[in-house]
Amino acid sequence: MKGGLGNIMKQAQAMQENMQKAQAELASLEVTGEAGGGMVRLTMTCRHDVKSVQIDPELMGDPEDREILEDLVAAAMNDAVRKVEKTTEDKMAGLTGGLNIPGMKMPF
């Protein structure tokens, strides 16, 4: 019986290590979303960090205004994502009774 429990613990540890590696890989992967036929593009990591926002110059007159708007949209999106993460964490903590379960960092 002891050998079986030891194997389960080893498997659980290996799974946790694999999940941590996958989370690290996802944090560096980037995807790009588009709207308006590509007139607005947003690039973010798979950890929901907005890296850049590009707005087609034809949508706005002043290039400086466009850059400010792009930065503000990226900052607002990042703020919203952090709030989603915090809310999800709080909700999950309520469900688990405050238990800190290794490998259960939600959602990422």
Residue 108 lies in a domain: no
pLDDT at 58: 85
Residue 103 lies in a domain: no
**43-79 pLDDT per residue, tens:** 988 888 888 999 888 888 888 888 888 888 889 888 8
The CATH number of the domain where 66 resides is what? 3.30.1310.10
For residue 20, what are the domain limits? Answer: 2-96
Residue 60 lies in a domain: yes
Give the pLDDT band of residue 99 (cuts 50, 70, 90).
low
Extract long-range pairs of 76-84: CB within 8 Å, 24+ residues apart. Answer: 77/42, 77/44, 77/50, 77/53, 78/49, 78/50, 81/48, 81/49, 81/50, 84/48
On whether the pTM is more than 0.95, the answer is no
Instruction: Check pLDDT > 70 for residue 3.
Output: no
Number of structural domains (the chain) is 1
pLDDT at 2: 57
Residue 49 lies in a domain: yes
